[in-house]
Amino acid sequence: MDMELNVDPSELQSLGEYEFEKNFDQAAARKWMMENWHIALIFGVTYFILIFGIQNFMKEREAFHLRAPLALWSFSLSIFSAIGAYRVWKLMAFLLLTKGFKQSVCSQSPHIHPVSKLWIYLFVLSKLLELGDTVFIVLRKKKLIFLHWYHHLITLIVCWYSYKDMVASFGWVSALNFSVHAIMYFYYAVTAIGIQIPISIRKIVTITQMVQMTG
């Protein structure tokens, strides 16, 4: 990456950040992730063993329904993702309008700007939380496809390493992923409580998931 394309923090105006966002110590968070990079691998191995262990444990047992917990889980993640999307997009929109698309891709500003730095960090940590999606699948004895657990596993590791290395395009990655997950988890919450969703809406949700995976 051409470091000259990074935007000087002094050029970025205040975008209405909150005090708790400005007070977040991004340097300390990044330092911790750099020093503890192996934790992502440990969580990945634990996740792999756990989900297939639970799946084997459930073979001769009745499936749990878990409608209410799943609805609450999904709705909480939807709200979190919507807030994260709003905060990160606020900076990305500013970069696009004032610096252009190239700068928005090549700048590390999303990692350090007060309005987005906390949410970029929480985005990475949320990949640990989202491993719980698979636990619901195996406890409910739903079909666990390779793409599901592989995606969760690789996303966790890639996001962890991208954050510690302050990958420039991570602003786009987090903004798009937050946005898609806000829709996706709301859809999961609604279906968990038994509301029937039109096929056209289900197709749109699936397409958005597929599109953001290609990014």
Evaluate if residue 46 carries a pLDDT over 90. Answer: yes
DSSP 107: -
pLDDT digits (tens, 9 = 90+) for 102-155: 989 998 999 999 999 999 999 999 999 999 999 999 999 999 999 899 999 999
Mean pLDDT of 76-95: 97
What's the predicted TM-score (pTM) here? 0.90
Integer Cα distance of 159 and 107 in angstroms:
17
**Token couple for 126:** 């949320």
Q: Tens of pLDDT along 2-15? A: 344 455 555 677 88
In the prediction, which pLDDT does 1 show?
38
* Per-residue pLDDT tens digits for 87-101: 999 999 999 999 899
Which residues, at least 6 apart from 79, have a Cβ–Cβ distance to it below 8 Å?
A: 182
Residue 11: per-residue pLDDT: 63
Q: Which of 5, 23, 198 is nearest to 118 (CA)?
A: 23
Known catalytic residue: 113? Answer: no
Tell me the mean pLDDT in the region 15-28. Answer: 94
Q: Can you give the pLDDT at residue 138?
A: 97
Q: Which of 41-50, 111-120, 202-211 has the lowest mean pLDDT?
A: 202-211
Whole-number pLDDT of residue 10: 58
Q: What is the reported pLDDT for 4?
A: 42
* Average pLDDT value for the chain: 90
What residue ranges do the domains of the chain occupy? 22-213
pLDDT digit string, tens, across residues 141-188: 999 999 899 999 999 999 999 999 999 999 999 999 999 999 999 999
The 8-class DSSP code of residue 6 comes to: S
- At residue 82, the pLDDT reads 98
149 vs 167: CA distance, rounded Å: 24
DSSP 63: P
Among 69-78, 104-113, 196-205, the range scoring the smallest mean pLDDT is 196-205
148, 151, 152, 181: which is the annotated catalytic residue? 151
CA dihedral over 53, 55, 60, 64, signed as positive or negative: positive
